[in-house]
Amino acid sequence: MNRRIMVAGNWKMYKTIDQAVALAKAVAAGPARQGLDVLLCPNFVCLEAVVRAVAGSHVQVGGQNLHWQDEGAFTAEISGPMLRSVGASHVIIGHSERRQFFGETEKTVRLRLAAALRHGLKPIVCVGETQAERESGQTDDVLASQLAGGLAGLSAAEMVKVTLAYEPVWAIGTGLTASDEQAQQVHAFIRAWLAARFDNQVANSCGILYGGSVKPANAAGLLRQKDIDGALVGGASLDADSFLGIIAAV
């Protein structure tokens, strides 16, 4: 099974327009590789400028969230049609910071996922356990319930359009990374869950990214794992050299 590899940068609430354009241009000047998708997810304010900055290059652009309605009186929210109109191809859904600080639940993940699919945006759905959940042996249960809720009622044809990202909450922005073995173990668990919920073909075609303190120094080991299909990178995506260093490790 030849799954594509993706290296995605989640810029979170960083970068003004000038800074974002400079970083995007530097990433777009990096090498394009067969079978590799490079994705930048800037804040909403910078989306249009980043789309322009990478136009004609191999780099794709995504949003960090979307609302499930197409429009309405939802102050400060952004919808699927808006992301499409700015030229975004992807969208991150259910990042742990959304779950932790903004009340994201499995139900809202599922609603956002439906909106992304409805508007032809490629969703990246994030799951992951906290340190306390890992230490009390609940990692598999937590992931299974995030997957069951977030992907509830999805058809196989829809599921193959979804990329998953396993991001252990304890590894995000902490400098702690899951070891290659820990990450591979969870990715294999997620793939087995997909095989049981859908079938082997769906399980084998879905991309599953790892995220949590990925850097040039640890990327090669993680990306060598058989069930890890790329990286969702936060901190190290904010600097062109370190992000290109991760891409070079693929």
Q: Which residues contact 5 (CB under 8 A, 6 or more apart)?
A: 35, 36, 37, 223, 229, 230, 250
User: Which residue type is seen at 236?
Assistant: A
Residue 10, H or E segment? strand 5-10
- What span, in angstroms and rounded, lies between the C-alpha atoms of 1 and 242? 29
The pairing of strands 90-93 and 59-63 is: parallel
Site for ligand PGA in 194-223 (CB under 6 A): 211-214
Per the residue annotation, which of 95, 106, 129, 133 is the catalytic one?
A: 95
Based on the residue annotation, tell me whether 187 is a catalytic residue of this protein.
Answer: no
User: For ligand PGA, which is the closer residue by CB, 164 or 232?
Assistant: 232
Cβ atoms < 10 Å from Cβ of 13: 8
Q: Which of 105, 15, 14, 27 is nearest to 68 (CA)?
A: 105
Residue 1 Cβ vs ligand PGA, minimum distance, rounded to whole Å: 25
Q: Could you tell me if 3 and 207 are in contact, meaning their C-beta atoms sit under 8 angstroms apart?
A: yes
Residue 139 Cβ vs ligand PGA, minimum distance, rounded to whole Å: 18
Per the residue annotation, which of 104, 106, 133, 167 is the catalytic one?
A: 167
Based on the residue annotation, tell me whether 167 is a catalytic residue of this protein.
Answer: yes
Site string for ligand PGA, 169-188 (x = CB under 6 A): ---xx---------------
Site for ligand PGA in 7-46 (CB under 6 A): 10
Residue 5 Cβ vs ligand PGA, minimum distance, rounded to whole Å: 16
Residue 176 Cβ vs ligand PGA, minimum distance, rounded to whole Å: 9
Residues binding ligand PGA (CB under 6 A): 10, 167, 172-173, 211-214, 232-236
- Return the active site residues: 95, 167
